[in-house]
Homo-oligomer: A and B are copies of this chain.
Amino acid sequence: MRQVTILGAGLVGSLLAIILRKRGYEVTLYERRPDMRSASISAGKSINLATSHRGWKALELAGLKQEMEALAIPMYGRFLHQADGNTAFQPYSKNNEAIYSVSRGELNKKLMTLAEQHGVKIFFEHKCTHVDIPANRLHFELPGKVEKTVQADLLFGADGAFSALRDSYTHLSRVNCDQNYLEYGYKELCILPGKNNEWLMEKNALHIWPRGNYMLIALPNTDGTFTCTLFMPFEGEVSFAKLKTEEDVTAFFDKQFADAKALMPGLLDDFFTNPTSALVTMHINKWHYQDKSALIGDAAHAIVPFYGQGMNAGFEDCTVLSGLMEKASPRPSPKEREVLSKEIADDLDWGWILKEYERLRKPDGDAVADLALNNFIEMRDKVADPKFLERKKIEKELGKRYPDQFVSVYEMVSFSHTPYSTAIQCVQAQDKLLKRIMDAGDFFMNMEKGSFGNTLGTWITEYHNEVQQLDFGNEA
């Protein structure tokens, strides 16, 4: 069997290592950073994870679901903190489904330890500078500027948005790619627990302080704290650039997030110690090279965090890859064996697996990037748009009246395994339906007067028929 090398011992790299190890592969992981389990390197750049169905499925596949549940707190909806001090709770689903708050650091540590227990070897402080793609040779820089090269056999780049493997792919001929930063940044902050380590806000919710073009969110941790994230423009009237002094920060939080601030005794320290990080979307149209290497997770599809799907999408990559390993022809024909090396002949047809993986998964990578970006644009531009607010009301009403036909895309993304690319097509079908309805005038008045006649029913049926034609994967 072939030797597997994985770049990046983050969430996706560690999980992939376990999945491959369980299938009998020897796996070596190379990680840029020191071992986060011994070194205390709180970079203060974390956004808590919201694990949903896709994430859980991959964890279950790796046999880790139970262990991970111990680290996770269910969040059944959004808990809104309005500017006027009012609060409101909005459930995520009609069926009491939840997304799960998990500390990125804790989950990552656990996955690393489990990988090692399964026999995966992890090298830390190995910064990959570039990969010779045709030769599959990795170049590393170790502490003290020591250089090292490693010959890979079957290589996965799970090394995140700034992947060295991705970067090396972009230098191959005819590879299209782009990177696009938002004009928004984010900063990690922290809400502390009470005296007995109890949660000082509702524990089972994702807290949001929406303020138009900026917002604060908070996700619960098992130790009673909440990991908070402030999203805000880098520059402009209300921006990170404007919050220069302790007085600026104090005044801003007093005015905008008074209830949160009361629970943040370390606010000023956090604010001026933690970095302001950037948010990027990246595309690349090459996800694999022959039977030699492939990108996975953020390395293949770095997205912005506004749908809570970054880790879920990366974990689903692992599920897809695992499914293809099931399907792959187990052994080449005797004729093929003659020209193949023993390692390759004795293994699955990885040329086919990696090619299929790219073909199947690239459209979903593009789709989840668009979904995440759309959510950002809604948040930034549309929350103050009366047309948009009216549309949201109509959508809610349609969901109530036609629960079987008008399915929430949020629920499809978070609580099903429907391909992301299908979810995007549902969004488009809903856009068309909603345009019809809104072009016909005041929806609620029309409903009341009964002046829709059967028209609305016909439209819903047409919409539903269109959606039924889509590819819902194995769940259809």
Task: List residues of A (124-183) whose CB comes within 8 Å of B's CBs.
Answer: 162, 170-171, 173-181
A328 touches B (CB below 8 Å) = no
Q: Are A178 and B175 in contact (CB under 8 A)?
A: no
Q: Report the Cα distance A46→B170, complex, angstroms.
A: 24
Q: Are A178 and B177 in contact (CB under 8 A)?
A: yes
Tell me which of B162, B175, B181 contacts A176 (CB under 8 A): B181
A278 touches B (CB below 8 Å) = yes
Which residues of B lie under 8 Å from residue A234 when comparing CB positions?
A: 174
Which residues of B lie under 8 Å from residue A162 when comparing CB positions?
A: 171
Q: Are A181 and B177 in contact (CB under 8 A)?
A: no
Q: Are B170 and A179 in contact (CB under 8 A)?
A: yes
Which residues of B lie under 8 Å from residue A278 when comparing CB positions?
A: 173-174
Q: Report the Cα distance A179→B176, complex, angstroms.
A: 5
Q: Report the Cα distance A278→B174, complex, angstroms.
A: 7
Q: Are B179 and A177 in contact (CB under 8 A)?
A: yes
Q: Are B181 and A175 in contact (CB under 8 A)?
A: yes
A259 → B minimal CB distance (Å): 32
Which residues of B lie under 8 Å from residue A178 when comparing CB positions?
A: 176-179
A420 → B minimal CB distance (Å): 22
Contact code string A258-293 (vs B, CB < 8 Å = 1, else 0): 000000000000000000001000000000000000
User: Max chain B CB contacts within 10 Å: which of A174, A175, A180, A234?
Assistant: A174
Q: Are A176 and B170 in contact (CB under 8 A)?
A: no
Q: Which residues of A contact B (CB under 8 A)?
A: 162, 170-171, 173-181, 234, 278
Can you list 17 A-B contacts (CB < 8 A)? A162-B171, A170-B179, A173-B181, A173-B278, A174-B181, A174-B234, A174-B278, A175-B179, A175-B181, A176-B178, A176-B179, A176-B180, A176-B181, A177-B178, A177-B179, A178-B178, A178-B179
Given contacts A162-B171, A175-B181, 15 further A-B contacts (CB under 8 A): A170-B179, A173-B181, A173-B278, A174-B181, A174-B234, A174-B278, A175-B179, A176-B178, A176-B179, A176-B180, A176-B181, A177-B178, A177-B179, A178-B178, A178-B179
